[in-house]
Amino acid sequence: MDSVRVWVGHRKWVAVVGVAASIALTLSSPAEAARRKSHGGGYSPPYASIVVDTKTGKVLDGQNVDAPRIPASITKVMTLYLLFEQLERGKVRLDTPLEVSAYAASQPPTKLGVRAGSTIEVEDAIMAMVTLSANDVSVVVAENLGGSEEAFARQMTRKARELGMNASSFYNPHGLPHSPPNITTARDLSILGRAIQDRFPKYFAYFQTTSFEYGSRTIRGHNRLLGKVDGVDGIKTGYTRLSGFNLLTSVNTPSRSIVAVVLGGKSAALRDRQMASLIEEQLPRAYAGARTAPAISESAAVAEQPASQPVVVADASATPSVKVDATPEPAAPPPPAKKPLDLNSLRPVVASATGASGTTTPSSTGPAIRWQKGPQPLPQNTQAYAAIDNDDGPTDKEKAALLAKIERATPTATASTQAPVKTAALKVEPPKTPEPKQTARPAVTEWVIQLGATDDEDKAKAMLDAARAKSGRLLAKASPFTEKVSQKGATLYRARFSGFDESGEAEKACKVLKKSGFACFAARSS
């Protein structure tokens, strides 16, 4: 029997994926789906969740945060990360046509329905993955950027390692059932959710898309919290029968910022309520001051590998095809080794999923959570394979009794498979690799200095680089960061340094920088 070893830190699990894969294929057939719908039994996919304060990096809440889980279509966030990387490097443009192979066109739904031999522009590919969670388009991106689905999956795993997602391995770009399956954890997905907006703020805005036009069709998205819960600005849903209903969410208010993950919901509606409950309870606990945690960066610890052959990207004109150099990749997926104005807001209050109104219920301590009137229609996919990876998925009456057997047979699944909407007084087991010790309110008041603000994050970063270059040792121990601010309808990026324990140190730094031509002021970060 095939098996895959999944390592997280110094802890080891052995997942029996041969049985899981065969069961997944059986359960995904229309006949089996119909049979299971008519019998008794409960659907209880393995649950995990986490809420992270993006300003401090502190874990605010979580359950089973390091337990191996199947990401399903949240996999596509990593696929988009690599695509955004190529856009940033200028290897492709938003209007670059990507060639559709017969293999890509043959992927099961949910799919856009691109035809073999045709092309799709990069921007349409992004929109299709973000809204429809299109499996066929995911393979188009993988083949055009990586040469093949397998090679691209190795790039995905390599990128995960560079970001510190040490418990994640990818074998396909879309998250459909595979043997071995794509594996991740709630903690790793929270890292990815923070990293993609830190690295690509310009492209992250695509995750706010609720619908887009493709040809004569209007494609509507699966993320029902967008436009319903204040502050939610992305990012991705996911579903397979083995994974349950998954959701990775980013919340940014004028003063607070969190990333939250729910994995293993019993239904899309229950998953959304669980996420809304986490936001309601944890957002007021997030730090309202200036960001102290550095942006998540890619580590250079992964050894360089020989570059693969250039990949040909389709060109609709008669000129030679555009070539994209594939990112260096390992021979095989390595085994897992282990934003903002300083204002107080109103406490979140979540309306029930039924009888939701368009009013906002305020309270005294945090930002209100608003549910809009009326349902948000989603496309109903009636094709034969829709049950495999349709984010709408089955009703919560659909049965998955075999899932419980898989969990009992797998040492990785000792965590509770029953997912309460919220467990009070939950204590999260600390990770094996300790995170930097950070608190929402440092015992010693930390000071930051600000050089200015610009509407372009790259310019803000350049400002920080120039300041460090002209300051000698003065800023050697300070941490540069940019802070996203929404002010009077405009988005700005503040260029700041943190790490000053006393006001005198911060003011001294500003004095030197002012002599070098920089605008500068010092302020407390708490």
What tokens were used for 413? 């699944």
As beta bridge partners, residue 396 has none
Is 292 or 428 the better-scoring residue by pLDDT? 292
Query: For position 49, what pLDDT does the model report?
Result: 98
Model pLDDT for residues 321-339, shown as the tens digit of each residue: 334 444 444 444 444 443 4
In one letter, which amino acid is 436?
P
Of the given ranges (48-52, 206-210, 251-255, 433-437), which has the lowest mean pLDDT?
A: 433-437
Contact (CB, 8 A) for 326 and 479: no
Give yes or no for residue 364 having a pLDDT over 90: no
> Looking at the whole model, is its pTM more than 0.95?
no
Are the C-beta atoms of 268 and 199 separated by less than 8 Å? no
pLDDT at 251: 97
CB 438 within 8 A of CB 58: yes
Q: What is the pLDDT of residue 177?
A: 95
Amino acid identity of 395?
T
- Average model confidence (pLDDT) for the chain? 73
**Residue in the block written with tokens 């948000």:** 376
- Where residue 522 falls among pLDDT bands split at 50, 70, 90? confident
Name the strand (E) or helix (H) holding 60.
Answer: strand 59-63
Confidence band (pLDDT; 50, 70, 90) for 456? confident
pLDDT at 19: 37
**99 strand-pairing partners:** 119
What does the DSSP assignment read for 387-403? HHH-TT---TTS--HHH
Percentage of residues in the chain with pLDDT exceeding 90?
Answer: 47
Counts of helices then strands in the chain (DSSP H, E)? 14, 17
Summarised one tens digit per residue, pLDDT across range 468-482 is 887 777 787 788 888
The Cα 341–Cα 197 span in angstroms is 18
Of the given ranges (55-59, 346-350, 369-373, 489-493), which has the lowest mean pLDDT? 346-350
Per-residue pLDDT reduced to its tens digit, 104-122: 999 999 999 999 999 999 9
Handedness of CA 28, 31, 33, 36 (dihedral sign): negative
**Per-residue three-class SS string for 345-367:** CCCCCCCCCCCCCCCECCCCCCC
pLDDT at residue 94 greater than cutoff 60: yes
Quick one: pLDDT at residue 504? 80
Q: Which domains does the chain have, with CATH numbers?
A: 46-297+341-393 (3.40.710.10), 447-524 (3.30.70.1070)
**Residue 35: partners with Cβ closer than 8 Å, 6 or more residues away:** none
pLDDT tens digits for 388-444?
445 544 444 443 444 444 344 444 433 333 344 343 333 444 444 444 443 333 334
- The rounded Cα 277 to chain-centroid distance in angstroms is 19
CA torsion sign, 402 to 426 to 234 to 171? negative
237 touches 222 (CB < 8 A): yes
CA distance 467 to 513: 7
- pLDDT of the residue at 488: 64
Span 453-481, average pLDDT: 82
Compute the Cα dihedral for 374, 379, 382, 386 and give only its sign: negative
% of residues, the chain, pLDDT over 70: 64
The 10s digit of each residue's pLDDT in 178-201 is 999 999 999 999 999 999 999 999
- The residue among 27 and 183 whose pLDDT is bigger is 183
266-297 per-residue burial string, b: 16 or more CB within 10 A, e: under 16: bbbebbbbbbbbbbbbbbbbbbbbbbbbebbe
pLDDT higher than threshold 50 for residue 348:
no
CA–CA gap between residue 379 and residue 182 (Å, rounded)? 26
Q: Is residue 23 scored above 60 in pLDDT?
A: no
What local confidence, expressed as pLDDT, does residue 438 receive? 39
- In this predicted structure, what is the pLDDT of residue 298? 85
pLDDT of amino acid 525: 66
